[in-house]
Amino acid sequence: MTTPLDDPTRLPVHDIMCIDCKSFYASVEAIRRGIHPLAADIAVLSKGDSPGGLVLAASPNCKKRYHVGLSTRRFQLRDDMQIELAEPRMADYIRKNYGINRIYRQFTDDAHWYPYSIDESFIDVTHSHNLFGSNEEIATQIQKKVFDQFGIITTVGIGQNPLLAKLALDNEAKKAAPWQATWTYDRVPDTIWQLHDLADFWSIGSRTAKKLNAIGIHNLYDLAHTDRLLLHQRLGVLGDALYFHSWGIDYSDLTRRYLPRAENKGYGNSQVLMRDYTQAREIEVVLSEIADQVAGRLRHHQVQGEVVSVGIGYADAEEAGTSGFGAQMKIDPTNRTDDLIRAARYLFHSKWNGHAVRNVSVRVNRISQASSMQLSLFESAEKEEANVLLDQTIDKIRQLYGYKAIVRGYSKEKGATAIDRAGLVGGHHG
């Protein structure tokens, strides 16, 4: 049997590190209190005064002792749990993230540094060994510098491509000191193929896992030994990518930032609600507020979109029989608030079946540069011009005086969240 690993000359070979700040938010809060991050019992909680408040991060102790983790709700935290609850300080986390990434950049150039999230980054150190030593020596230096300057423990996955580095991080490096692990092509049978839960594999979500299960694929070994043509027939280019990933092969290049085609680039916002929303009008209000925010971003970047998508997540997936729904529609290119609100509300009502809602999102795709005003068959040119002027005026007032300086009427209705969320950093207090 020939395999994708048979010809080493065709394999991407680099020295990639995927670096994670262990329980980042919770660690920052532990250090603020003079506690070692690994000794703290701290959870960072958004909207701590609400039963529906979400845990954004938990210290390793909390995860181990109380099984508290990301997305645990406030009402699930029992009184006998000796956990200190901390309010998120997003502005401080962002500042520390910037400082930590400056350390990473000491070991490579900016072209080979890729911040993946607020607590995770990739760096390519292929050409850094003459200055800084082996992969393990570089990883150790980074860990020491970050801990000495910030008190944060970093975990490092090392691989010959970004996929291997990420898998090494998530499945080995994060689990025990010295918080380092290296995965290579020759270790694929002993590493990747030992991952039995498809949904835990980077790039495979629960929905894709179900599709793979339907064709008899239940683990990574199965995936690697499935006919590639069958995968392509069932999943298209995703099937091709997953096949190569199951062999540890990833052709991603950190120096080539992904620049999506205009039709794929999008602008969107989402929100986790602090309680179950069961009334259509309340859900409409939140959708309208999000659509207003997305429209403002489009205008700020002088672009417009022509595909509107709405995502709705149900509070109780078991009761609803589904986790929620998504819907989209094509409209005339626009960045007008009223147009996006109208589309978002239509999409919501086209599929909502009355179940309680906890997550909402609005997204606009197929982006193009904003052109002259699009005339509608259903509105006079004068009304169109007045609506455009209204949006522009609201944008200018908010730019000068902040979002709360002028709000639309629905933001005063029951269920509205925009006024309370105005001024938050990343959806949380700074």
From first to last of its 430 residues, what are the pLDDT tens digits of the chain?
789 998 989 999 999 999 999 999 999 999 999 999 999 999 998 876 677 788 889 999 999 999 998 778 888 999 889 999 999 988 889 899 999 999 999 999 988 998 888 899 999 999 999 999 999 999 999 999 999 999 999 999 999 999 999 999 999 999 999 999 999 999 999 999 999 888 778 778 778 889 999 999 999 999 999 999 999 999 888 899 999 999 999 988 888 754 334 334 689 998 888 889 999 999 999 999 999 999 999 988 888 998 999 999 998 887 888 888 999 998 888 899 999 999 999 999 989 989 999 999 999 988 888 764 444 444 445 666 677 788 888 888 888 877 777 777 777 788 778 777 665 554 555 5
Q: At 311, is the secondary structure helix, strand, or coil?
A: strand
Retrieve residue 174's tokens: 């994060």
- Cα gap 86→24, rounded to integer Å: 13
pLDDT at 371: 61
Which residues are catalytically annotated?
120
Which H, E and C letters describe 327-375, residue by residue?
EEEEEEEECCHHHHHHHHHHHHHHHCCCCCEEEEEEEEEEEEECCCCCC
pLDDT at 25: 94
Please write the tens of the pLDDT for every residue from 246-297: 999 998 888 875 433 433 468 999 888 888 999 999 999 999 999 999 999 9
Which of 166, 186, 146, 276 lies closest to 5 in space, CA to CA? 186
Angle among Cα 395, 396, 399 to the nearest 5 degrees reads 85
Which of 171, 159, 234 lies closest to 200 in space, CA to CA? 171
Determine whether 321 is exposed, middle or buried from the number of CB atoms within 10 Å of its CB (0-12, 13-18, 19+): exposed
Q: What is the mean pLDDT of the chain?
A: 87
pLDDT at 372: 47
- Cα gap 233→227, rounded to integer Å: 10
Which of 195, 201, 117, 187 lies closest to 159 in space, CA to CA? 187
- Cα gap 124→15, rounded to integer Å: 6
pLDDT at 248: 96
pLDDT at 381: 53
pTM over 0.75: no
Retrieve residue 77's tokens: 């935290």
Taken in order 412, 413, 414, 417, is the CA torsion positive or negative? negative
pLDDT at 428: 52
Residue 276 and residue 315 in contact, taking contact as beta carbons nearer than 8 Å: yes
pLDDT at 300: 87
Helical segments of 194-252, H only: 206-214, 220-224, 228-235, 237-246
Q: Could you give all domains of the chain from N- to C-terminal order, each with its CATH number?
A: 16-156 (3.30.70.270), 191-246 (1.10.150.20), 266-421 (3.30.1490.100)
N-terminal to C-terminal alpha carbon distance within the chain: 57
pLDDT at 322: 84
Q: At 279, is the secondary structure helix, strand, or coil?
A: coil
Measure Cα distances from 238 to 13, 203, 204, 234 in Å.
Answer: 22, 10, 10, 9
Measure Cα distances from 247 to 94, 168, 279 in Å.
Answer: 36, 14, 48
Region of 426 on the Ramachandran plot (φ > 0 left; ψ -120 to 50 alpha; else beta):
left
